[in-house]
Structure 1
Amino acid sequence: MLGCVLTETFQAGPATLHFERHGRGPALVLIHGLSGSSRWWRRNVPALAEAHEVYVLDLAGYGRAWRQPALGVQEAAQLVAAWLDDRDLTGVTLIGHSMGGQISLRVAALRPGRVERLVLACASGLLTSTPTRAALNLPRAVLVGRPSFVPRIVADALRAGPRNLWRSASDLLSDSVQDLLPQIRIPTLVIWGGRDALVPAELGRALAAAIPGAEYHEISRAGHVVMVDAPGTFNRLVLGFLQRHGLT
C-alpha cells in the first residue's frame, strides 16, 4: 500500500500535468491510458520504487487533472516532453499503458536524449476502429479483468467525463504509430494480456515485431489492464528488463 504522497503539478500553456514521486534512483515515468489515472499503478509502484525514482502521472483531463480538457496523443506527448525538460530528467524509462504507451512512443521520438528505455503495456497505436465500435468491446474487457478493479475503472471514467473520453478515443484512433516504430532504437519491452478485448494480442505481437530488438511477453490470463490483472508477473518482467539494460 502507498502512504500519503504529495501531488505536484507542471503547467505548459493552458495544460496542467499532475504527478507523484516515489522512491529514489534512476527515473521511471508511468503513464496511464484512456479513462485511467495514477491510481491504476498502485499494485506496481511499491515494487518499482524499491530501487528507482518513480514518477506517476495524471494526464490533462484525467485523475487529479480532470478539471481541464483532455489533450490529443501528440499534444500530451509534447506536454510530457516539456515536463521532462523542466525537471531535467535523463536516462528515463517510460512505462505506458494503452493510450499511455502510444504517448510514450511519441515522447521517445521527441526526446531521444532523455528517454533510454520503453515499456509498452497493451499499447494502442495500431488499433483501427471507431470510438463507437471500440466501445462495444468495453463490457467484455471489464468482464475478463480483475473484478475488484471495476469500481476504480468506473470512478475514473466518470471523473474524466464523456467529452474527454470521446476526445481521447477519437484522437488515438486517428494517430497511427506504424511509421514511427522502425525509428525506435532504444531497448523496448512489450507486455500484453492474452485476454485483452480492447487491443488484441495480435496487435501487441505486431507492435513488438516492428520495433527493432523489442522483447515481447504475453500474460495468458490477463486482460487489457495487464499491470492490475497480473501485477506480480508484470513487476517481475519490468524489473528483469531494467536489470538487463543497466538498471538494478
Structure 2
Amino acid sequence: MVTGVSSGVFQRAGVRLHHRVWGEGPPVVLVHGLSGSGRWWRRNVPALQRRHTVYVLDLSGYGAARRQRALGVREAAALISDWLEDTDLRGVSLVGHSMGGHICVHVAARCPDRLDNLVLVCASGLLSTSAYRVALQLPRALITGRKRFVPRILTDALRAGPLNLWRNARDLLRDSVQDLLPLIRARTLVIWGERDALVPVELGAVLAHSIPGARFEVIPRAGHVVMVDAPAAFNAALLAFLEAVPADGEVLT
C-alpha cells in the first residue's frame, strides 16, 4: 500500500479539491475518472515518484471528497485550474483517466502556459451515446479488466453514490471536447487499453489525430482501467514519454 508523504485541500467557493503528494522533481498531476478515486493510481505512483513530484487528486464527490456534490467536467476543470494557479505549479504533466482525461482537456485549454505535457488515458470527451447505453457496457468492462480490482471499483462507486455518478455520466456525455483538441499546445500522449469496453479504442485514435503532434499508444490485453490492468506497460509508456527529449518541431508550451 502506497502512503502519501503529504496531503492538502484546496477550497474555492465552498468546493474542496483533495490531493496527496509523493516524491520530488517535475510535477505530475493524476486525475481519476468517473466512480474512481486517487487509489486507482497506486500501481503507478511508485514508478513516477522516483523522478517526479506526483500529485494525486480526489475530485469533488469522490474518494476523500466523497461527501460533496460531484462537479461537472467544466466545473472540475475550473477548480483544478484555480488550484494550479494558487500553487503556482508550472511545467506540469497532466494525466487524466476516462472522465479525468475529459476534464484535463478543458484544463489544458484554460491554462496552457502551465502545462508541458498532457496524457489522456481512455479519455471520454468524444463519446456520443446515452448514459443508459454506457451502463449496459459496465458488466463487460468489469470482466475485461483485472478481476482483483473489481472490489475497489465497486467500493469507490458506492462511496460516490448513485446521484453523483448519474449527474457526472449525463454531464460528460453532453460535453464534447472536439473543438478544443486542435488548440492544445502541450505535448500529448493518448494511451488506451486494447479491450476498452466503455470508450472504444477507435475514439482514442480520433482523439490523437485531432491534437497537433499527439502520439497514440495502445496497450495490448488491457481494458478501460489500463493503468491497473497493465501497470508495467503503462508506466513504461508514460515515463518514456515524460522523459523523452522533444524532437524538433514537436508541440511545446
TM over 0.5: yes
Instruction: Give, as a single letter, the amino acid of the residue that structure 2 aligns with 1:223.
Output: G
**Contact 2:193 2:224 (8 Å CA) reproduced:** yes
Match of 2:87 in 1: 87
Give aligned-pair identity as a percent.
63
Structure 1 position 14, deviation (Å) = 1.8
1:147 maps to 2:147:
yes
Structure 1 position 4, deviation (Å) = 5.4
Cα distance between partner residues in 2 of 1:87 and 1:66: 23
Cα distance between partner residues in 2 of 1:185 and 1:63: 31
Structure 1 position 5, deviation (Å) = 4.2
Cα distance between partner residues in 2 of 1:231 and 1:162: 29
Q: Which runs of 5+ in 1 are unaligned?
A: none
Cα distance between partner residues in 2 of 1:206 and 1:157: 29
**Contact 1:187 1:245 (8 Å CA) reproduced:** no
Q: With the length of structure 2 as denominator, give the TM-score of the two structures.
A: 0.95
- Length, aligned pairs only: 246
Q: What secondary structure does 1:25 align onto?
A: coil
Deviations 1:18-48 (A, max 9, x none): 0000000000000000000000000000000
Q: What secondary structure does 1:136 align onto?
A: helix
Cα distance between partner residues in 2 of 1:53 and 1:194: 29
Deviations 1:62-110 (A, max 9, x none): 0000011000000000000000011110000100000000101100110
Instruction: Give, as a single letter, the amino acid of the residue that structure 2 aligns with 1:175.
Output: D
Match of 1:57 in 2: 57
Structure 1 position 3, deviation (Å) = 2.9
Structure 1 position 159, deviation (Å) = 0.2
Q: Which runs of 5+ in 2 are unaligned?
A: 247-253
Match of 2:124 in 1: 124
**Contact 2:197 2:224 (8 Å CA) reproduced:** yes
Cα distance between partner residues in 1 of 2:152 and 2:81: 28
Structure 1 position 151, deviation (Å) = 0.3
Deviating beyond 4 angstroms after TM superposition, the runs of 4 or more aligned structure 1 residues are none
1:68 maps to 2:68:
yes
Q: What secondary structure does 2:212 align onto?
A: coil
Over the aligned positions, Cα root-mean-square deviation in angstroms equals 0.9
